A and B are shown apart, each in its own frame.
Chain A
């Protein structure tokens, strides 16, 4: 199974890191956040900008990403030096998955139930990776929605408890009701960068901060 192969790869990557020292390997940066925040759009934007490839399909349907997808060795050049990272696009983290929310997207019930199960497995996987396999976090939030949620608070808390470097991205600034300050207020202890991953707005600053934080 590909999953097991992935697992073994990640384990071997961790053990290799243990024995070889951390300096050589690119940092593995997890892109986390609630569903529909624009994580895959951002991952694709970064991957396309620096490698030419995409990471995975984007969609307005929640839980489009149901398995963590990795793009390895993304080399970001800033100020003459190169930062190499592995990008891990994770499924949106939530405390509740209900197939009924998929029914609004012209989906048959069986398909919706299957998608719901996969999304749940995906959240479990994302949480497990956060524990085992991530060196830093890009936390993506939809700036048109309220950031004060249980999931955001819990995830940011976990990230802080692990002392992982984290960047908070206030995405979807192209939308009218985007309120970046609300996110800054919610997590004043962290740096918040606004962007539109879809439109590619403010990506230069995003790359600057990624290089600073994870380089």
Chain B
């Protein structure tokens, strides 16, 4: 089983490039991947897995990455507060998100994990952090914290903090995403077979690859191999198994 759209169930041949621009049937962009070692079970898995098990394979890795980011986002508020007020203020950090939660309810809802983490947090962090600058209700407390910190840290660090917090959110995001994209591409390339035998009598064909390859597949075998005719050997009618 190759990739399947989790929305409409449309399946894609292994390594289908079409997937990269979304499902042609429904426009969905979530696909689940069945690793190559399960081809024998694929038909069963196909019926069972779609809604339930996005645990395996690259898309789930991306999903995990997103979850990681979400966790980081969740942890971010205390972490960043720990970073900004490292020693004394640990109880205060517990207060800080609460008070921050008052004006911008984004923080608790981010804790619920139902928000889009990458979008929600930068906005949220800049929101909470820009408010002291703008002079909101939290101004008193944040200003107090700021002044307390400014004795130890240069004032320039204060405006720099929001972006740095933003980075804290983004860095793991980038770290997590880029390898996954590379892994995804590698997976796609590795699976770019012409014909995949899912089970005896069940095949998935990569039309583009069949068209592109010079060799001519003339006979299939159930063990996943096929007999091809290589152009150079046409004259001798030699067969080669791939």
Show the binding face of A for B, using Cβ within 8 Å.
3-4, 7-8, 11, 93-100, 109, 112-114, 116-117, 120-121, 123-125, 127-128, 130-131, 148, 150-151, 153-155, 158
Q: How far is the CA of A69 from the CA of B87 in the complex (A)?
A: 82
B234 touches A121 (CB 8 A): no
Taking the closest CB of chain B, its distance from the CB of A187, in whole angstroms, is: 15
B11: which of A96, A117, A130 is its contact (CB, 8 Å)? Answer: A96
A117: which of B201, B208, B210 is its contact (CB, 8 Å)? Answer: B201
B202 touches A124 (CB 8 A): no
Taking the closest CB of chain B, its distance from the CB of A71, in whole angstroms, is: 22
Q: How far is the CA of A99 from the CA of B197 in the complex (A)?
A: 12
B204: which of A95, A99, A130, A153 is its contact (CB, 8 Å)? Answer: A95
A131 touches B211 (CB 8 A): yes
Q: How far is the CA of A150 from the CA of B24 in the complex (A)?
A: 7
Taking the closest CB of chain A, its distance from the CB of B205, in whole angstroms, is: 5
B228's nearest neighbour on chain A, judged by CB, is A124
Count of B interface residues, CB-CB < 8 Å: 28
Taking the closest CB of chain A, its distance from the CB of B187, in whole angstroms, is: 18
Known: A127-B211, A153-B24. A113 touches B216 (CB 8 A): no
Q: How far is the CA of A121 from the CA of B194 in the complex (A)?
A: 11
A120 touches B195 (CB 8 A): yes
A124 touches B217 (CB 8 A): yes
B234 touches A7 (CB 8 A): yes
- Chain B residues near A151: list those with CB within 8 A: 207
A4's nearest neighbour on chain B, judged by CB, is B237
A116 touches B202 (CB 8 A): yes
A99's nearest neighbour on chain B, judged by CB, is B201
A126's nearest neighbour on chain B, judged by CB, is B210
B202 touches A94 (CB 8 A): no
Which one of B11, B216, B220 has the greatest number of beta carbons of chain A within 10 Å?
B216
Taking the closest CB of chain A, its distance from the CB of B197, in whole angstroms, is: 9
B217 touches A128 (CB 8 A): yes
Q: How far is the CA of A128 from the CA of B218 in the complex (A)?
A: 10
Q: Mark B123-163, 1 if CB is under 8 A from A, else 0.
A: 00000000000000000000000000000000000000000
A155 touches B216 (CB 8 A): no
Taking the closest CB of chain B, its distance from the CB of A109, in whole angstroms, is: 8
Q: How far is the CA of A170 from the CA of B212 in the complex (A)?
A: 28
Query: Can you name 30 A-B residue pairings with CB atoms under 8 Å?
Result: A3-B218, A7-B229, A8-B234, A11-B234, A93-B207, A95-B204, A95-B206, A95-B207, A96-B11, A96-B13, A97-B202, A97-B205, A98-B201, A99-B202, A112-B201, A113-B200, A116-B203, A117-B203, A117-B220, A120-B203, A121-B217, A121-B219, A123-B207, A123-B210, A124-B217, A125-B216, A125-B217, A127-B207, A127-B211, A153-B24
